[in-house]
């Protein structure tokens, strides 16, 4: 129970990586603030957390809206007495060809993935500084931000490149407050988001999703795609005492697809 006594806030906790990590946090003793734009899904995650025996509150969050972020923090302070760990995970994407990306696509993806990630980080870091007991921030980036050529779209790659850069800069700013800031960069992960990308690409190129998944898998040196739990394991490690001297890093979890 290495996270006993810690309160972890997870954005995008209704499904996929966010849900898997929330459960892993609870299994390691943390209490949870679960935030997601889908109230029904996040309540389902909360039920699983409570079965483990951990305290858990849910909050509706649109990370692209600053007032929504402020409300989430108010709930965290009021209901849980603060925040020790932020898993800054909420994100969106879809398959879009390079020449088909619109201004609206760019704004939506970057508002959630870049702007939302920054202001969650900034505002929750302020809570941690005021608490005076340090903290951990882990951002979900992507190997798309490091040049993975099968990224869902260029706007998504740009947004995740921003997350990686912000991780480096914020780690430098927050080190004096004993706040560690790192990023995880997933490769291919079996989630609803990945299923949607494969479906969109399938329609675009006229190849069924099974063939596309097989092609992608064949490009992974270890020969297997990630389960959400593969990402969760690293996030929990970066949240715990064993990683106390790790900050300003971006870690790939991709089976060897990107070697930097």
Q: Is 173 a catalytic residue?
A: no
From the list 160, 168, 177, 251, the catalytic residue is 160
Instruction: Give the CB-side neighbour count of residue 40, counting CA atoms within 13 A.
Output: 0
Alpha carbon distance 170, 182 (integer Å):
9
From the list 25, 148, 156, 251, the catalytic residue is 156
| Helices first, then strands: H and E counts in the chain | 9, 7
Alpha carbon distance 228, 18 (integer Å):
8
The 3-state DSSP class for residue 2 equals coil
Q: Are 252 and 146 in contact (CB under 8 A)?
A: yes
Name the residue among 171, 180, 167 with its Cα closest to residue 135: 180
Q: Is 160 a catalytic residue?
A: yes
Catalytic residue IDs: 156, 160
């Amino acid at each position: 129970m290495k996270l006993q006594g810690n309160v972890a806030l997870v954005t995008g906790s209704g499904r996929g990586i966010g849900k898997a990590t929330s459960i892993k946090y609870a299994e390691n003793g943390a209490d949870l603030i679960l935030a997601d734009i889908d109230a029904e899904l996040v309540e389902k995650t909360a039920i699983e957390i409570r079965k483990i025996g951990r305290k858990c509150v849910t909050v509706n969050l649109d990370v692209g809206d600053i007032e929504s972020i402020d409300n989430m923090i108010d709930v965290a302070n009021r209901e849980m007495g603060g925040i020790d760990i932020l898993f800054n995970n909420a994100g969106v994407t879809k398959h879009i060809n390079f020449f088909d990306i619109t201004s609206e696509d760019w704004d939506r993806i970057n508002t959630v993935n870049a702007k939302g990630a920054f202001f969650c980080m900034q505002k929750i870091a302020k809570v941690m500084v005021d608490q005076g007991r340090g903290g951990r921030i882990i951002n979900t980036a992507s190997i798309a931000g490091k040049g993975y050529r099968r990224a869902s779209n260029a706007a998504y790659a740009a947004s995740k490149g921003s997350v990686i850069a912000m991780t480096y800069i914020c780690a430098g700013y927050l080190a004096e407050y004993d706040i560690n800031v790192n990023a995880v960069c997933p490769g291919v992960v079996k989630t609803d988001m990945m299923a949607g990308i494969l479906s969109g690409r399938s329609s675009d190129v006229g190849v069924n999703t099974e063939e596309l998944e097989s092609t992608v898998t064949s490009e992974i040196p270890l020969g297997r795609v990630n389960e959400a739990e593969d990402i969760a394991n690293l996030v929990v490690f970066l949240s715990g005492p064993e990683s106390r001297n790790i900050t300003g890093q971006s870690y790939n979890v991709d089976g060897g697809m990107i070697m930097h």
